[in-house]
Structure 1
Amino acid sequence: MTRKTYEAKNATVSGPYSHAVDAGDYVYFSGQTAKNTPTATDMSGDIQAQTHQCFANLFDVLEASGLTRDDVVKVNVYLTSMKHFAAMNEVYKTQFSEPYPARTCVAVLELPLEAEVEIEMIAKRS
C-alpha cells in the first residue's frame, strides 16, 4: 500500500512526519503549533494568537487535502496549562460552526518548539 499524504506550503514540520495522511474515508492531521510555519514569530504568553496560528496551519493542510472545516469530525487540543483553556476556547469557537466537532482537551507537561498549544484534527470525506 502506498501512503497518500498531504502537505501545505504555509506549514512546516518539526520532525519526521506528514502534515496529513489519507486513510480512505478519513484524513488524519498531525498536530500543529504556532511555530509550525515558515514565518513563525514568538507568541509566548499569547494563547489566542497561538491558537489562531494553529488553526491557520491546519486549515492550509485541510485545503490541500480537498476538505473544509465542515468535514472535521474530531479535534484534539493540547495545552501546557489549563489556565489557557478559556482563552483557547474564545478562539476555538470562531473556527467552526455548530454543531461543533467532537473534541478532547488535555494539559501536558510540555510541547515541541516550546509551544503552549498544539492542535490536531480528523476529517471525514462526505
Structure 2
Amino acid sequence: MSRQIIATDKAPAAIGPYSQAVRAGNTVYFSGQIPLDPATGQMVEGDITLQTRRVFDNLKAVVAAAGGSMDKIVRVGIYVTNLGHFASVNEVMGEYFQAPYPARSTIEVSALPKLADVEVDAIMVLD
C-alpha cells in the first residue's frame, strides 16, 4: 500500500515531526489541529467558539488538500482542556457537519500544544 503525505499552506504547518495528514489507500488520517492561524502561526484569540471554528477551518483546509470534503470524514477526535466547553464545541461542530454525523470521541485532557483549549483530529475515507 502506498502512503501519500498531504500538506497545504492553508492550514498551519506542523509544529513537530509529523505530517498534516497521511493517505494510505483510500483512508486519510489527519493530525490534530489546534487554533493556529495559518497566515501568522499565532494562536487565535477569543473564546472557545472562535478557537473551535479556527480548528475546524484548519481541518477543512487539509481535507480539501487531500481531495475530500467534510462529509467524507468518518471519525473525529476532540480534545478539550475543559469539558465545560462541550456544548460550545458541539455547536461549532454542527456548522461543519450534517447528519449522518461521523463517529466521535470527546476527551478532556490536562494540556494541549501551545496551551490550546481544543484540538481535533479525524479520519476520512475517500470513494
TM-score, normalization by structure 1? 0.92
Report how many aligned residue pairs link the two structures: 125
Root mean square deviation, CA, Å: 1.5
Match of 1:43 among 25, 42, 45: 45
Give the Cα separation in 2 of the matches to 1:56 and 1:116: 16
What are structure 2's unaligned runs of at least 5 residues?
A: none
Divergent runs of 4+, >3 A: none
Give the Cα separation in 2 of the matches to 1:8 and 1:60: 7
TM-score, normalization by structure 2? 0.92
Counterparts of residues 41-80 of structure 1 (less than 5 Å):
41-43=43-45, 46-80=47-81
- Asked whether the 8 Å contact 1:35–1:113 carries over to 2, the reply is no
Shift of 1:82: 0.3
**Alpha carbons of structure 1 residues 112 and 36: separation in structure 2 relative to 1, 3 Å:** farther
Counterparts of residues 1-126 of structure 1 (less than 5 Å):
3-11=3-11, 12-35=13-36, 37-39=38-40, 40-43=42-45, 46-126=47-127
User: Aligned letter for 1:101?
Assistant: P
Shift of 1:13: 1.3
- Asked whether the 8 Å contact 1:13–1:36 carries over to 2, the reply is no
Deviations 1:55-102 (Å, cap 9, x if unpaired)? 111111110110011110000000001011111111011110111100
Shift of 1:4: 1.0
Give the Cα separation in 1 of the matches to 2:88 and 2:102: 19
Shift of 1:37: 2.1
Percent identity, aligned pairs only, is 42
- Asked whether the 8 Å contact 2:76–2:123 carries over to 1, the reply is yes
User: Aligned letter for 1:16?
Assistant: P
